Amino acid sequence: MADLISVLSTGKGTWGHVNGLINGEEWNKIYLLTNDFGKDTFKANDKTELIVLNFNAKVEELSKEIEEKLKDKVSGEVGVNFISGAGKEHMALISALMKLGIGFRLMVSTMEGVKEI
């Protein structure tokens, strides 16, 4: 399977959904975009890299930061999930992926397993 990129931020119960994605598929690599709280609190597995961002930055700055931190890590096509986080974080990730020329599929964790929507 491809790599997974997900925001790991705010939203009650959203970390459970992200865990469902991580554990429900054989990802090559998992990148979680988070803040210091997520880095200190989330229990990541060996395939997971926590990328710490400043979610208080302006959306343009956040997009550039994501682009810089992902540019040498991902290529081709990735799975993306937006259950966790805020619209600004989601917009910044989409912008960064588009600027990097990365295709993406929207992935969700369901009762039947991980699915593309």
Looking up tokens 């259950």 gives 83
In tens, the pLDDT along 39-77 reads: 999 998 999 999 999 999 999 999 999 999 999 999 999
Spell out the domain ranges in the chain: 3-116
Q: CA quadruple 89, 49, 22, 77: dihedral positive or negative?
A: positive
pLDDT in tens, 15-27: 989 999 999 999 9
Second CATH level (architecture) for the domain 3-116? 3-Layer(aba) Sandwich (3.40)
Find tokens 């990802």 and name the residue.
27
Model pTM score: 0.93
pLDDT of 11 over the 70 cut:
no
| Tally of CA atoms within 13 A in the half-sphere of 69 that contains its CB | 19
User: Euclidean distance between the first and final Cα of the chain, in Å?
Assistant: 16
Q: What is the pLDDT of residue 10?
A: 74
CA 76 to each of CA 64, 70, 79, 112: distance values in angstroms, whole numbers, following the listed order: 19, 12, 11, 27
- 103: tokens are 């295709």
